[in-house]
Structure 1
Amino acid sequence: MSLLPIILLGAGGHAKVVLDLIHALNRQILGICDPGLATQGAKVWRGLSVLGNDEVIERYAPSHVELANGTGSLPGSHLRRRLHVQFTRRGYRFATLVHPSAILGSGVELGRGVQIMAGAIVQADTRIGDNAILNTGARIDHDGDIGRHVHVAPGAVISGDVKIGKACHIGAGATLRQGICIGSDAIIGMGTTVIVDVASGHQQTGQPPRAPRRIN
């Protein structure tokens, strides 16, 4: 069965990375939809035909194309999630994209529209929910459970058996201790080390020093 051609949504920085990912997988791209480019009257973006705004997608039957969500995911922004829900309800499917340089262990499960970027590592029996991003060089150890719409930013390290609820943002370079739970819609700041559970809707940032302890 041949893979369907892709339409890319969005024209920001994340879209550039997604476009490179699609090229690395040798997938066919029909063009890009972006309201900003359409308003400007742009015809071409990074070698792609600008098809128009997001409503242009309805000219293509859901059975004939896949979508790639080029909208980034930042704390407080829900556009990426909204686009995924909106077009999924209309019957469209989002392509699950894994960079050739990423490493996936045995038993890994990937939801629809997951994007795994260059250098990411996902170890055995980890589940990644729909529309999640594992960004450049992110590392997820064994038995992880990463909810839908989660963004694991570049260089974050998630130890084994960690559960992350839906729509969380795990900042660049953050480190999560094994076995903890992060509730839905939580934010973990850039470079933060997390050693206890974080409740839904809460934010954990910073690096408060702890008293040194003798190593046994």
Structure 2
Amino acid sequence: MTQLFFSDYHAEEGTGRPLVIFGAGGLGREVLDLVRQLNAAGAGWDVRGFYDDAAPAAPTVAGLPYLGTSAALNATAEPLAVAVAVGSSAGRAAVAGRLTSGQLAFPALVHPGVVLGPAQRIAVGAGCVIQQGCILTCDITLGRFVLLNLGCTVGHDAALGDFCSLMPRVNVGGAARLAPGVYLGTGATVIQGISVGEDTTVGAGAVVVRDLPARVTAVGVPARVIKQLTVSS
């Protein structure tokens, strides 16, 4: 786990290092906007372009070149920082598993308006993306490659496992526990002290008031399980 404090952020990452974005879709363009906002605040990333295993329709994305697949990225001869811009928890985990080159690093990218101070005691794992408008209070742990989309809130003592995905305006209450791979749809709420099991999906606008098991889909207010994920043998 990388301990990242907002007061140290620009000094740590603002070195003009080359950075590429894996994911040439809409989230990739949003992450590019995030990086540009960081650069406007002094971060100094040198954004080279996009990688994706599904080539986009045009040779450029938001004015930057499409550079190839994960295999091409693994073959890079120079050190590169990589932002993995894949919204699906499972998809992001799969991409991270394919990017195995020792030349690749996965910095946390945190919007400059998000407050992460030493007194808050917030741990942020490698590869996290935290977008504009998010509020994190204190004593929070984010695992690797966690995505907090626009305007999310995370309360005290919450713990989010690797590859969790929070879509816009999600609220996670104090001391909530999200296991790895949890996906919370737009506007969902997990109330204080609730646990959500690994790889579970919570639908947009749902309110989770009771613990949810692993690998289910839950929707509604209060959230109820409507589907169990079948794990192939």
TM above 0.5: yes
2:100 is the alignment partner of 1:84: no
Q: Which amino acid aligns with 1:19?
A: L
**RMSD, aligned α-carbons:** 1.9
> CA offsets, 1:103-134, max 9 Å, x none?
33510000010000110111111000101101
> CA offsets, 1:169-215, max 9 Å, x none?
11111111111111111111111111111111122211259xxxxxx
2:199 to 177, 182, 185: 185
Q: Identify if the C-alpha distance between structure 1 residues 6 and 188 changes in structure 2 by more than 3 Å, giving closer, same or farther.
A: same
2:163 is the alignment partner of 1:149: yes
Q: Taking structure 1 as the reference length, what is the TM-score of the superposition? A: 0.86
Matched positions, count = 202
Q: What corresponds to 1:69 in structure 2?
A: 84
2:168 is the alignment partner of 1:162: no
Structure 1 vs Structure 2: percent identity of aligned residues? Answer: 30
Q: Taking structure 2 as the reference length, what is the TM-score of the superposition? A: 0.80
Q: Identify if the C-alpha distance between structure 1 residues 192 and 109 changes in structure 2 by more than 3 Å, giving closer, same or farther.
A: same
Q: What corresponds to 1:53 in structure 2?
A: 69
Describe the SS at the equivalent of 1:204.
Answer: strand
Alignment of 1:16-165 (within 5 A): 16-26=29-39, 27-37=45-55, 42-61=58-77, 64-73=79-88, 78-87=90-99, 89-91=100-102, 92-104=104-116, 106-165=120-179
Q: Which amino acid aligns with 2:80?
A: V
Structure number with larger C-alpha Rg: 1
Unaligned runs of 5+ in 2: 1-11, 40-44, 224-233
- Quote the Cα distance in structure 1 between the aligned partners of 2:36 and 2:183: 27
Q: Which amino acid aligns with 1:174?
A: A
Higher relative contact order (CA 8 A, sep 6+): 2
> CA offsets, 1:19-71, max 9 Å, x none?
10111111211121134436x5x432211122222222134246x21111122
Identify the range of structure 1 (162-171 vs 104-113) with the bigger mean alpha-carbon deviation: 104-113
Describe the SS at the equivalent of 1:51.
Answer: strand
- Quote the Cα distance in structure 1 between the aligned partners of 2:77 and 2:16: 15
Unaligned runs of 5+ in 1: 210-216
How far the C-alpha of 1:3 sits from its partner, in A, is 4.9
Q: Which amino acid aligns with 1:85?
A: G
